Every structure is written in structure tokens, then in C-alpha cells.
Amino acid sequence: MQQVQEDEDQQLEENEAAEAVRRKVWTWKELFDQWRRFNIDLAPKLMFCRGAMVDLLVQSRISRYAEFKAVSRLLTVLGGKLEYVPCSRSDVFSSRYVSMLEKRMLMKLIEFVLHYQDRADDYEGYKDKPFSEFLQKRKLTSTLQHFVIHSIAMVSANTPTEEALQAMQYFLKSLGRYGNTAFLWTLYGSGELPQCFCRMSAVFGGIYMLRTTADYLIVDDTNVCRGMIDSEGRRLTCKNVIMDHSYTTTHHEGIHSDRFVSRAVLITDKTVRESENEEVTFLTIPPPKPAEEPVRVLEIGHTACASPKGTYVVHLTRKSSSPDAKTDLMPAVELLCQSLEAELDYSCEKPKVLWSMFFSYQDKSDMSLEDLRAGQPGGVHVTGGPGCSVGYEHAVKQAKQIFEQICPGEEFLPPAPNPEDIIYDEPSGDNPGHSNKAGFEDNCSDELKPEESRSGNGHQFSEQEVHKCEDEGGDDSPTPEAAENVGKESSTKDENQTETVLVESISKECPQGGQEE
Amino acid sequence: MANRGSHKPNGSSPMCQFKLVLLGESAVGKSSLVLRFVKGQFHEFQESTIGAAFLTQTVVLDDTTLKFEIWDTAGQERYHSLAPMYYRGSQAAVVVYDITNQDTFARAKTWVRELEKQGSPNIVIALAGNKADMANKRMVEYEDAQAYAEEKSLLFMETSAKTAMNVNDIFLAIAKRLPRNDDSGNRQRTQGQHLEDKDRREVKEGGCCSK
């Protein structure tokens, strides 16, 4: 008996040893040495393939600054296990979890939702009733309802049917544009997008200042914003300031003061569900009770440039009514990963958390711009923060609204000219030594002529010109508001500066309305 | 161009695309060098930035076509606020100084250090002493710059965007040093997709319920 026990123990040890060879044990130093390979977003978002952000990036040609990766799998939790969500026609047919009958039901529903506006009779009676009742009426099984509500429409069982249909259609329409996926992820993270907008702004003369924060607003005696003072003590003159609500001192008493977003960021040593490919995974953990909130999980690895090879960054996001992220998200962490406290358990298939961070932020994303800026000086525009939406729809909408307030009648982010299409005027110096006039002179109205003095000592910088003050924490990703802000910037401009001249000359090829006052 | 790495268009000669960034103090002639290289032009009073996303120029070298995607700093060097995206995936860099201004050479050294820290691990760096046509006002000795370049294993040339001296040469020298076979050229770069190109192929991709 004793012998058998020893044999078993030995066997177990051997297994563990074999497992240990297969599974790397990370040391803190190894992880730390690779810190530059981690790109951790504070507010990661996905782009719907046919969503507002993709359209905006393509239309403005800002997309050429970034590269994207398809979100390669959609998972959900079914019976305590992670399962694939069938959402496209091919997924539905190849899915193992749905029966023939369910396949037909789901396909019928998908066809219906794509054209639901034309078939009002089919849902009229349910318009304002819970989506789950509507699905019940269409005799969807509980498994299918689960897929549809939580992962395809991404609503809750109680969401009014019409709103849910709209959400589901938005998702379905995004499939197929860039392959069999509804979402794209920005390589290196969501934090790339503000950089793309900043870059576009910069090539047309916008200035962005990294590692600088705004400390004070300068307000005149009529309570209108005249400028700001930055963390270096510089005085920046401007007519408009766009900022996140967290910069304001106003507390919107009573209005949504109880709304928070709970976040967790984990670094793990393996994926939540084994796969042959390196995946970008979007997982929805449905709430235990319909009235509670789901947890959205995004897992990205080294192919999406989020982390070094062999590690994954896992983002958990959830709506909350308290700023206690750990309480909100711990059940989800425990469902997906090995215990945070315990040592690595080789016999457990689940990922081991190598590093974790919990935090929460206030969510004012559903407040109107008017409510957000209440009590602020004139010229100050306040954004509602990233919220916890899956995509950028709200950010794009808000950016556009603020842009229209600042630059009424101007086109929002028109296409930038292709670099090859920009025609430089009379190459004055093509015969070396012959010319003494500025290349852009012919394009400039009198007051825009480049100053003679600029030729030798380059760019002269007046404080007035520095109208952009955007803090970007290096590789850490700022909120999408940074992206918003850039699109709307450039409202103040010193007429005598180069930037204006440059925009003028380029606008011959392609009007850059938004760049000027 | 959906692909920044190596690929063969229509099965003809191989084509490689590389991202190249320009660095250096304001007014040393970064944009002028690019404009000379890409368009063969020179503007005495070059505006301080080239108003474009990035310019591209193709170089043919030993039956290989190399396409440079050239990123100018667009004035952001003044505030030392070059976003990480600027360096990301760059396979080559030209650090420019003005031979008539000692300070710009000191700044060039700082940029080289910055590249060593932030740039891709195997980045090819070239040092360009620009405004060589103004040698009568020279403040940076050729030998000093060369010694520094040797110490740091940088390519080095004195250039003049105005007379075109060494402009094509320095880009060609970089092209020669860049790894061209699929493997080494792409090792650091993880490929993502580009939006516009995919968009046009939309119809073909289909195969899902939205179609």
C-alpha cells in the first residue's frame, strides 16, 4: 500500500516536472526587463468594423498612421465554461453548441435583424418590452438567447427590444468588412489612436506637448476663458479649452454621481482558452442576475503588440455603482484565472496572474455636453470620459459636437491630401543659389508672408502659438478624449505663424477647413 | 500598400518597404533633405514642416525595390514631444545636424541616445551633417563627427540639401544596410492590417451574414 502511494507520488512529481518544462515560470526580473514591450491601455476600446471610428479614420485618411488586428474570437461563459459565440453564417453552421434546429432559428433571426426596419409588424408589439420577451416569442432556446443578448447585441435581457435590435444590427453589419470579425483592435493599443490624431494635427501645424499637464485656467472678468498655465509654468493663450470632466472642480450633484467604471488589468502567462492561433479575444461574462452588469474582457498578446511573447494582457471592464473595482471584478478574475494569492498550480490549466491592477473611474459618458460644462467659464468644453462602452461611437459623436460648437459650418476631419499629391510651388532653389524668395510666397496673402527673419534661425515660437496642451503619458494610453481633443483643436492661431501659411498652401489641393479658425 | 514588409507585387522583383524617421534640432534641414531626396527640390526658405503624413520614395538596389516611408517630425522636436508611434517599427533613422552650429551637433547626439533607447532594436542610424555648402561658416569639424559616428557605428556623411550633395547617397547607403530578406526585415514588426486597402477588397471578403 505504502509502495503504491509512493509510486503515485512519484508519478505526480514527474507529471509536474513535465508540465513545468512546458509552462514557463516567470520571475519578476524577467517580466520587468521587458517592460517596454507592454502597452497597457487605461480605457481599451474596440472598433466596430463598420463603426463611427473606422469610418472617421478612413475618411480622414488618419488610418494610415496605424495598423489593426482583427478580434479573432468572441467568447462567452456557458455552464461555467468558456465557449465560442457563433455570430456569422459560417460560425453558426460550424458551431458545435447549437443544434440544427437552433441553427435555423438563429439564421432566421439574423436575417430579420439585418432588415428589421422593414419588418415593423414583426416586432411592433415588443418595441418597448424587454428583448428577452421578444426572443422568447421567436422561440429561441436559452442558449441562443444567451449568445444573442450578451455577445451579439451586447445588451441586457431587460433592454427594450427596439434598442436591442438596433445594437444587434450594428454588430451584424460590422461582420465581413475586414474578414470574419465585427471588431478591430489597434496594434499597440487604443492609445495609438490619439497619437494618430495628434500626428495629423501636427503635420498641419498643431502643437502637442507631451509630459505637460494643464494646471490653471485663465479667466477674464466676464468669466470667459483666455488661456491656461501649464505644469512648466508657461502661459498659453487660447479661446477654447477642451478637457475631460476629471479636470473640472464642479461636482454634478445628484446627476449620475453614483456611476463608475470598474477596471482590472492582469498580466497572465497563458490565454484564457487554448487555441492553435494567437488570438485577440473578446469575452463577455454575463451577469449572474439579469439586473446586474456583465463583465467585458479583452485578452491581447504579443501579436497585437500588447505584451512580450508568452504573456497576455487581460482587461476587465464593468459598469458599477461603487468605486470598488476589486469587489466588482474579483469573481470574474477567479473564474478565468488561478487564485491571485496562491503559487502557480501546474495541474491547473487556467492562466496564472503575474501582475494585476484594479482601479475605477467616474463615468459621466451619458451626460449631455451642456450638463457637463455647467458652471464652467465661457470657451471651456467638457467631455464625459471614456465610459465603459465597447466601441468609440460616443467619443466620435461628442468630438463632432464640440467641433461644431467651436467651428460652426466647417467640415469635420476632411480627407488629408496624399503626400504624393502635394505640389510644392516654384522650386525656388532648384537652381542652387539663384533664389532668394520663399517657396510659399505666391500662395500667401500679405499678412501671411513668412517672416524674413525665419530663414536663418528657424522657427520662432511665441507663447500664443502653443494652443494645444495634451498630456499623453508615454506608452500608457490616454483616454479616447485625447483623440477627440485633437480633432477639435486648432481653434486659436497666430496669423503670422508658419503653421497658418502651410495650411493655406495645402488647402489649394484639399480644403482643410477644420484646421483654421 | 497593405504590407510594410517584404512582398512581391505581381511576382516581379521583390519590393521592401521601410519606415525611416528623421530627427534633429529645428532648422537643421530635415525637411529640406527629404524634399531634395523625394522631389529633387530645394526651397531656400523651407517651411518648418512638410505638410504631409509622410513622404515615400522608391530606391532600386540590386534588383530590389525599396520603398522608404519617410516620417518627418512635423515640428514636434521643439517640445521634445515625439509620441512613441513616431519611432514604432522604424527600421532606419537619419539624425541631422547643421555643420555651422555646434549646438545642433550636441542635440544630434541626444537624438542618437534617444533612438538607442526608444527605437527598434536593429535600427540603422545615419548621421547627416547638413548645410555642407556653407563650409565657410563651419563650426563642427568633419573629423569630430566622423569619430563620433565610428564610435556609435553610425553611417555618416556631410550633406547639402541645397546642392544635393550626398543626399541620394546617404539614403542609398541606408538602403544597403537594411536587411532585405523577409525574415530579418520583419522580425520586429508584427503585421497588422491597413484600413483603406482592405476596404476596397470588401466585396471579396464576404462570407458572412451581412452579405
- Residue B38's pLDDT band (boundaries 50, 70, 90)? confident
pLDDT at position A94 is 83
| A67: nearest CB among B50, B76, B193 | B193
Residue B71's H or E segment, with its range, is strand B64-71
DSSP code string of A377-424: PBTEEEE---TT-SSSHHHHHHHHHHHHHHSTTPPSSPPPPPGGGPPP
Which chain A residues touch B78 with a CB distance below 8 Å? 459, 461
| Chain-chain contact of A196 with B85 (C-beta, under 8 angstroms) | yes
pLDDT digits (tens, 9 = 90+) for A148-195: 999 999 999 999 999 999 999 999 999 989 988 999 999 999 999 999
pLDDT at position A270 is 94
**AA identity, residue B53:** A
Share of chain B above pLDDT 90, in %: 42
Q: Mean pLDDT across chain B, nearest whole number?
A: 80
What 8-state DSSP symbol labels residue A226? E
Q: Is A177 on the interface with B (CB under 8 A)?
A: yes
Q: Is the pLDDT of residue B9 over 70?
A: no
Q: Is the pLDDT of residue A3 over 90?
A: no
| B194: nearest CB among A64, A418, A450 | A64
Q: Is A427 on the interface with B (CB under 8 A)?
A: yes
What 8-state DSSP symbol labels residue A41? B
Which chain A residues touch B196 with a CB distance below 8 Å? 58, 61, 63-64
- For residue B59, what are the β-bridge partners? B66
| Chain-chain contact of A90 with B194 (C-beta, under 8 angstroms) | no
Instruction: Report, as an integer, the average pLDDT of A7-32.
Output: 74
B181-B185-B189-B193 Cα dihedral, nearest 10 degrees? -50
Q: How far is A53 from chain B (nearest CA, A)?
A: 11
Instruction: Report, as an integer, the average pLDDT of A129-135.
Output: 95
Q: Is the pLDDT of residue A209 over 50?
A: yes
Q: How far is A457 from chain B (nearest CA, A)?
A: 7
Question: Would you call A48 exposed, middle or buried from its count of C-beta atoms within 10 A (0-12, 13-18, 19+)?
Answer: buried
pLDDT at position A87 is 80
Q: Is the pLDDT of residue B120 over 80?
A: yes
Instruction: Report, as an integer, the average pLDDT of B5-20.
Output: 64
Cβ-contact A241, A287 below 8 angstroms: no
Q: Which residue of B has its CA nearest to A441?
A: B45
> Which of A39, A85, A173, A199 to mutate to probe the B interface, most B CBs <10 Å?
A199
For chains A and B, what is the number of CB pairs under 8 angstroms? Answer: 213
- Residue A47's pLDDT band (boundaries 50, 70, 90)? very high
Instruction: Report, as an integer, the average pLDDT of A469-485.
Output: 36
Buried residues in B106-127 as b, exposed as e (16+ CB within 10 A): ebbeebbebbeebbbeebbbbb
* Stated pTM of the model: 0.79
pLDDT at position B123 is 93
Q: How far is A413 from chain B (nearest CA, A)?
A: 14
| Chain-chain contact of B41 with A436 (C-beta, under 8 angstroms) | no
Instruction: Report, as an integer, the average pLDDT of A225-233.
Output: 93
pLDDT at position B42 is 85
Comparing B200 with B180, the larger pLDDT belongs to: B180
> What is the pairing mode between strands A68-70 and A183-186?
antiparallel
Q: Is the pLDDT of residue B20 over 80?
A: yes
| B206: nearest CB among A87, A176, A302 | A176
Starting at the earlier edge strand, list the strands of the sheet with A68-70: A47-48, A183-186, A68-70
Comparing A74-83, A148-157, A272-281, B202-211, the range with the smallest average pLDDT is B202-211
pLDDT digits (tens, 9 = 90+) for A483-503: 333 333 333 333 333 222 222
List the 144-173 stretch of A: residues with Cβ below 8 A of B.
172-173
Instruction: Report, as an integer, the average pLDDT of B23-33.
Output: 90
Share of chain A above pLDDT 70, in %: 75
Q: Is A111 on the interface with B (CB under 8 A)?
A: yes
List the 467-486 stretch of A: residues with Cβ below 8 A of B.
472, 474-475
pLDDT at position A423 is 55
Q: How far is A154 from chain B (nearest CA, A)?
A: 18
Comparing A409 with B14, the larger pLDDT belongs to: A409
The rounded distance, in Å, linking the Cα atoms of B104 and B140 is 9
Q: Is the pLDDT of residue B129 over 60?
A: yes
Instruction: Give the Cα-Cα-Cα angle B82, A411, A447 (nearest 5 degrees).
Output: 70
Q: How far is A419 from chain B (nearest CA, A)?
A: 5
Q: Looking at the predicted complex, does its ipTM rise above 0.85?
A: no
The rounded distance, in Å, linking the Cα atoms of A493 and A512 is 14
Share of chain B above pLDDT 70, in %: 76
> Which of A172, A200, A424 to mutate to probe the B interface, most B CBs <10 Å?
A424
| Chain-chain contact of A455 with B53 (C-beta, under 8 angstroms) | no
Q: How far is A429 from chain B (nearest CA, A)?
A: 5
Cα of A448 vs its chain's centroid, Å: 38
Cβ-contact A23, A346 below 8 angstroms: yes
Domains, chain A, ordered by start: 32-84+187-411+449-465+482-517 (3.30.519.10), 88-174 (1.10.405.10)
The rounded distance, in Å, linking the Cα atoms of A39 and A306 is 5
Comparing A481 with B152, the larger pLDDT belongs to: B152
Q: Is A93 on the interface with B (CB under 8 A)?
A: no
Instruction: Report, as an integer, the average pLDDT of A330-345.
Output: 93
- For residue A38, what are the β-bridge partners? none
Cα of A288 vs its chain's centroid, Å: 27
Cα of B80 vs its chain's centroid, Å: 18
| A192: nearest CB among B76, B85, B198 | B85
pLDDT digits (tens, 9 = 90+) for A348-379: 999 999 999 999 999 999 899 999 998 899 99
Comparing A38-47, A215-224, B18-27, B61-70, the range with the smallest average pLDDT is B61-70
pLDDT at position B203 is 38
Comparing A53-57, B30-34, B62-66, the range with the smallest average pLDDT is B62-66
Instruction: Report, as an integer, the average pLDDT of A94-101.
Output: 84
| B210: nearest CB among A114, A198, A424 | A114
Q: Mean pLDDT across chain A, nearest whole number?
A: 79
Cα of A513 vs its chain's centroid, Å: 26
Q: How far is A344 from chain B (nearest CA, A)?
A: 30
Q: Is the pLDDT of residue A505 over 70?
A: no
Contacts (Cβ under 8 Å, ≥6 apart) of B83? A195, A198, A199, A208, A210, A472, B76
The rounded distance, in Å, linking the Cα atoms of B186 and A420 is 26
The rounded distance, in Å, linking the Cα atoms of A423 and B191 is 32
Q: How far is A408 from chain B (nearest CA, A)?
A: 24
The rounded distance, in Å, linking the Cα atoms of B131 and A134 is 74
Q: How far is B140 from chain A (nearest CA, A)?
A: 17
Which chain B residues touch A90 with a CB distance below 8 Å? 207-208
Comparing A5-14, A412-421, B123-132, the range with the smallest average pLDDT is A5-14
Instruction: Report, as an integer, the average pLDDT of A124-144.
Output: 93
> Which of A64, A93, A515 to mutate to probe the B interface, most B CBs <10 Å?
A64
Cα of B202 vs its chain's centroid, Å: 32
| B81: nearest CB among A209, A433, A457 | A209
Residue A171's H or E segment, with its range, is helix A161-174
| Chain-chain contact of A114 with B75 (C-beta, under 8 angstroms) | no
Question: For chain A, what is the radius of gyration of the CA atoms?
Answer: 27
pLDDT at position B181 is 55
pLDDT digits (tens, 9 = 90+) for B140-187: 999 999 999 999 999 999 999 999 999 999 999 999 999 865 444 444
Which chain A residues touch B210 with a CB distance below 8 Å? 114, 172-177
- Residue A425's pLDDT band (boundaries 50, 70, 90)? low
